[in-house]
Structure 1
Amino acid sequence: MAAIPTEQRVLELFMKLSIATAVATIALKVWAAVITGSVGFLSDAMESGVNLAAAIVGFLALKISIKPADANHHFGHGKAEYVSALVEGAMIFVASGFIIYSAIERLMAPQPLEQPGIGLLLSTLASVLNLVVGLALVRAGTANRSATLKADGKHLLTDVWTSAGVLVGIAAVALTGWLWLDPVIALVVGVNILYTGYKLLRESLSGLLSEVIPDAERAVLDDYLAGFEESNDVTFTEVRTVAGGRQRFVYLIMQVPAELTVARSHEIADLVERGVDEALGGAETFIHIEPRGKRLKVRRAS
Structure 2
Amino acid sequence: MNEFDEHRRQETIAWHERQQQELKKLKGAQRHLWLNVAAYLTISVIEFYLAVVGHSQTLRADAFNNLSGIIASVLLLVGIHIARDIDDDDLMGRPLPEESQHSGQRLQLTRFHYETVFTMITGLVMIVIAISVIYGGVQSLMSHAEQEIPKPITLVGAGIATVIMLGVWWMNKRGGRRLQSAALVAAAQDSLSDAVTSVGTMVAIGGAMLFKVEWLDGVASMVVGLFILSAGVKIFRESSLNLADYFDPKLEDQFRAAVGDFPAVNEVLELKAHYNGNVVTVDTTIAVDAHMEVQDSYRLSEDIEGTLRRKFGIVDTSVMVVPTEKN
Do they superpose with TM above 0.5?
Answer: yes
- Give the deviation of 1:112 after TM superposition: 3.1
State which drifts further: 44-53 or 232-241. 232-241
Say yes or no: does 1:28 pair with 2:46.
yes
Amino acid at match of 1:147: A
Partner of 2:255: 221
Q: How many residues align?
A: 290
Structure having the larger proportion of residues in helix: 2
- Give the deviation of 1:91 after TM superposition: 1.4
1:78 is paired with a residue whose SS is helix
What percentage of residue pairs aligned between the two structures are identical?
A: 23
Runs of 4+ deviating beyond 6 Å? none
Amino acid at match of 1:16: W
Residues 92 and 197 of structure 1 are in contact (CA less than 8 Å); yes or no, is this contact kept in structure 2? Answer: yes
Report the Cα distance in structure 1 between the residues aligned to 2:209 and 2:302, rounded to whole angstroms. Answer: 69
Report the Cα distance in structure 1 between the residues aligned to 2:230 and 2:319, rounded to whole angstroms. Answer: 41
State which drifts further: 138-147 or 159-168. 138-147
* Superimposed CA distance per residue, residues 24-70 of structure 1 (whole angstroms, 9 cap, x where no aligned partner): 22133223313311010001001111110110110111122344574
Match of 1:195 among 222, 225, 230: 230
- Give the deviation of 1:14 after TM superposition: 1.8
Report the Cα distance in structure 2 between the residues aligned to 1:273 and 1:32, rounded to whole angstroms. Answer: 58
Report the Cα distance in structure 2 between the residues aligned to 1:47 and 1:203, rounded to whole angstroms. Answer: 21
Match of 1:49 among 47, 52, 67: 67
- Give the deviation of 1:142 after TM superposition: 4.3
Residues 55 and 151 of structure 2 are in contact (CA less than 8 Å); yes or no, is this contact kept in structure 1? Answer: no
* Superimposed CA distance per residue, residues 228-263 of structure 1 (whole angstroms, 9 cap, x where no aligned partner): x14x56643311111221121211113333332212
Match of 2:219 among 184, 192, 196: 184
Amino acid at match of 1:203: E
**1:210-249 superposed matches below 5 A:** 210-213=245-248, 215=250, 217-218=251-252, 220-222=254-256, 224-227=258-261, 229-230=262-263, 235-249=267-281
Residues 33 and 39 of structure 1 are in contact (CA less than 8 Å); yes or no, is this contact kept in structure 2? Answer: yes
Report the Cα distance in structure 2 between the residues aligned to 1:152 and 1:247, rounded to whole angstroms. Answer: 19
Residues 259 and 268 of structure 2 are in contact (CA less than 8 Å); yes or no, is this contact kept in structure 1? Answer: yes
- Unaligned runs of 5+ residues in structure 2 are 1-18, 97-105
2:130 is paired with a residue whose SS is helix
- What TM-score, normalized to structure 2? 0.79
Report the Cα distance in structure 2 between the residues aligned to 1:258 and 1:93, rounded to whole angstroms. Answer: 55
Report the Cα distance in structure 1 between the residues aligned to 2:310 and 2:82, rounded to whole angstroms. Answer: 24
Say yes or no: does 1:79 pair with 2:126.
no
Amino acid at match of 2:182: A
Report the Cα distance in structure 2 between the residues aligned to 1:91 and 1:233, rounded to whole angstroms. Answer: 48
Amino acid at match of 2:235: L
1:193 is paired with a residue whose SS is helix
Amino acid at match of 2:303: L
Amino acid at match of 1:36: G
Amino acid at match of 1:21: A
* Superimposed CA distance per residue, residues 210-236 of structure 1 (whole angstroms, 9 cap, x where no aligned partner): 111574x44653453344x14x56643
Instruction: Mark the CA change 1:209 to 1:49 in structure 2 (over 3 Å): closer, same or farther.
Output: same
